[in-house]
Structure 1
């Protein structure tokens, strides 16, 4: 397991990556974290009672350039439960790069059911081990629409620093 700490403008969030069940997703996330990619990005989509999304936008809703998409590992047995981290993606199941979301509640409708457009699901690759209170506070901020995006916090919530506490070789 690798442990990553996001130092955000609202508090620290400690994440444990699951290299065993999500080797592709965990390695991808760890590499971006080691490269400092997440520093300066914002949590750009917050829906109370659902999830908090970040990892790809800079203040002003400017997309940050990413590497190539990764294979969807949503069939790894991990579930979209409260505190889990999953990859955000487009309609293409294999389009995830850096954007992730943290589940505020159990969201079983996002879990893998079948390898077709309706059932692919969203790949869980880690979980929050400390900082659920931080994402709960994030879920209480006012949101607006900005640059074609909905549910954007009125005031930026920034990942100020990313710290790797231990890194598993994958």
Structure 2
């Protein structure tokens, strides 16, 4: 009888501990992400630019809008063509395609250049601190397939005149 009571009490205690931790983890996770929640989170985060809140991010776009796409960046030095990696990074490609279609990047500058490593641009503040709700985490979502010689010529302050999207051949 005592052994059965100990087992029942232990089971109840373990159940309470499990429920407590499950509730604690749920409260840490926050609400599920939707385009509305993303915009709310962007607005509340001090590391994000408030002026870009007019962009309502669509989440992952339908496959026909992102699959097999390439982007051609017309810079003041020439064109750079990037194959978009929609299968590897569908959310990043979707956000990029959405912003390209909105004309967001037109006229923005390259703010970071590390020779033989990376060029970065597309920040409306031009210094790497702003943008449409992004943090300092990076996602590789494309591969240069043409214009690497142009990439090598880019310096800080060069401009992205326009970006156009097309289908890969």
Name the TM tier (shorter chain): 0.5 to 0.7
For 1:65 and 1:25, the matched residues in 2 are separated by 14
For 1:22 and 1:14, the matched residues in 2 are separated by 18
Does 2:35 correspond to 1:35?
no
**Aligned residue pair count:** 101
Question: TM-score by structure 1 length?
Answer: 0.52
**Contact 1:15/1:126, CA 8 A, preserved across alignment:** yes
**SS of equivalent residue, structure 1 residue 134:** helix
Higher relative contact order (CA 8 A, sep 6+): 1
Does 2:149 correspond to 1:133?
yes
Runs (5+) with no aligned partner, structure 1: 70-88, 94-121, 142-152
Q: Which residue of 1 aligns with 2:160?
A: 159
**SS of equivalent residue, structure 2 residue 91:** helix
Structure number having the greater strand percentage = 1
Give 1:165 shift. Answer: 1.6
Give 1:131 shift. Answer: 0.8
Q: Deviations for 1:25-54, whole angstroms, at most 9, x for unmatched residues?
A: 111111111111110100011122321111
> Cα RMSD (Å) of the superposition?
2.3
Report 1:25-104 matches (<5 A). 25-57=92-124, 61=127, 65-66=131-132, 68-69=133-134, 89-90=135-136, 93=137
Aligned CA distance change for structure 1 residues 29 and 128 (closer, same or farther; 3 Å): same
Q: Deviations for 1:89-108, whole angstroms, at most 9, x for unmatched residues?
A: 42xx4xxxxxxxxxxxxxxx
Bigger CA radius of gyration: 2
For 2:128 and 2:145, the matched residues in 1 are separated by 29
Worse-matched range after superposition: 49-58 or 34-43: 49-58
- Runs ≥4 residues deviating over 4 A: 61-65
For 1:33 and 1:3, the matched residues in 2 are separated by 11
Runs (5+) with no aligned partner, structure 2: 1-67
**Contact 2:82/2:145, CA 8 A, preserved across alignment:** yes
